[in-house]
Amino acid sequence: MIQKLWRICFVASGILLVIDAVLMILGRPNPLGLPLPCPITLIILGAGLVLFAASKK
**Domain total for the chain?**
1
pLDDT tens column, 10-46: 999 999 999 999 999 999 988 888 888 888 889 999 9
pLDDT at 6 over 80: yes
pLDDT at 50 over 90: yes
The residues, ordered by sequence, that sit 6+ positions from 14 with a Cβ below 8 Å of its Cβ are none
Q: The domain containing residue 37 runs over which residues? A: 2-55
- Spatial separation of the C-alpha atoms in residues 30 and 1, rounded to whole Å: 32
| The pLDDT of residue 18 | 92
Residue 25: CB atoms within 10 A of its CB come to 8
**Of 44, 48, 39, 41, which Cα lies nearest the Cα of 17?**
41
In whole angstroms, how far apart are CA 24 and each of 6, 8, 18, 21, 38? Answer: 26, 24, 10, 5, 11
pLDDT band at 47 (very low <50, low <70, confident <90, very high): very high
> Based on C-alpha coordinates, what's the Rg of the chain?
13
